[in-house]
Amino acid sequence: MFISLWEFTVLAFAAFRLTRLIVFDSITEFFRQIFLEEVVEKGEMYYVTRPGLIRGFIGELISCYWCTGVWASALLYLSYLYFPMAAAPVIFILAIAGAAAVIESVIQRLI
């Protein structure tokens, strides 16, 4: 299916925001803690996947920004393709938040 440049841009910002939400934001930390464990060694903190087939797989997925981005993009695109009325509001909210995050980052670098 062909999508316009506008749709692509909106989906790109939405995927960016959803990916950051899953991988980095504190609001989803409770979700990440199910699959990842914090380890502190020599004053540095990092995450390791919890044991188990499913927990380990999801832990590997959400600890990799690029991997999560691919799956988030696929989820958003397929949702938009097959359930446009339900997906569009969520996608637009994520896209607006993503664009706002980019603008804020630019402003922070300028100030």
Residue 107 belongs to some domain of the structure: no
Does the structure show a pLDDT above 80 at 1? Answer: no
Query: Phi/psi zone of residue 49: left (φ > 0), alpha (ψ -120 to 50 degrees), beta?
Result: beta
Q: pLDDT, tens digit, for every residue of 48-98?
A: 888 999 999 999 999 889 999 999 999 999 999 999 999 999 999 999 999
Residue 50 belongs to some domain of the structure: yes
A 10 A CB-CB count for 87 gives 19
Residue 83 belongs to some domain of the structure: yes
Residue 108 belongs to some domain of the structure: no
Residue 54 belongs to some domain of the structure: yes
Number of domains in the chain: 1
Domain membership of residue 82 as a residue range: 3-102
Rounded Cα distance, 102 and 89, in Å: 20
Percentage of the chain with pLDDT > 70?
A: 99
Residue 110 belongs to some domain of the structure: no
Residue 86 belongs to some domain of the structure: yes
Residue 44 belongs to some domain of the structure: yes
Percentage of the chain with pLDDT > 90?
A: 79
Q: How many CA atoms lie within 13 A of 45 on its CB side?
A: 3
> Look-up: residue for tokens 């316009």?
4
Q: What are phi and psi of 3, to 5 degrees?
A: -120, 150
> Look-up: residue for tokens 């969520």?
90
